[in-house]
Amino acid sequence: MTSYPNFQSKLGQTSAYNLQADSQPTAMPDPNGRPGWIYVKDGTSQPADKFNWYFYSGTYENMKLKDVQSMSFLGSIDTWSDVGNQAPFFVIYTKPTGSGDAGAFYHSAHAYALNASTNLIRAGERCQFYCLGKPKHQHLNSRLIEFANRIDTGTYDPEGEVLYMTLHSDSGAPLASVYCEELQANMHSFVRNGGPTDIQIKLIQ
């Protein structure tokens, strides 16, 4: 079944600035003519540069960790030398409670990262990278690659309310190049009569 994005974010517009938040440097059009965004950290970048893409905010919702079915991005890892920190990773942040918060703006953070020793990565190959469960909307001609390593900051509580869902690069990587066409999140029903919901954000130039 063909699926169609229900959101889009265009470079240079407010939606793109909000999504990229404090990323350094910001994404740019792909020089190879692909339709999405590319993030590049090269020899001219600052050592701590990275991207932080916030594609879901639960500020006015009450979704819980247990309600998140899948997170994914469609794109490629363009710089790859079999070093795990060249791959991006997903993070779910939960809302602060005022008791035992693990960070300044969140109660807990749960990262999902690539296991480089068990996955084949080819630089520039269009894939759908995901965590938790397989994405609901899968794309033809894109291999599924799971980010299966979960790293917890703070206690993992399935009842914790979700603050943000994000995609990040590793500031420790001296070089990074990540291309992205779409960010997707799939959620179980968490509102009475609401049913399951999906977010598909198309990244455009």
**18, 1, 2, 6: which is closest to 198 by C-alpha?**
6
Task: Give the per-residue pLDDT at 157.
Answer: 96
- 3 state DSSP class of 166: strand
Contacts of 36 (CB under 8 A, 6+ apart): 30, 74, 75, 179, 180, 181, 182, 203, 204, 205
Of 26, 54, 34, 28, residue with least CA distance to 201: 54
pLDDT digits (tens, 9 = 90+) for 102-135: 999 999 999 999 998 899 999 999 999 999 999 9
> What pLDDT is recorded for position 1?
41
Burial 28-57 (b: 16+ CB within 10 A, else e): eebeeebebbbbbbeeeeeeebbbbbbbbe
Q: Where are the domains of the chain?
A: 7-204
Query: Is-above-0.95 flag for pTM?
Result: no
Residue showing tokens 């590049």: 40
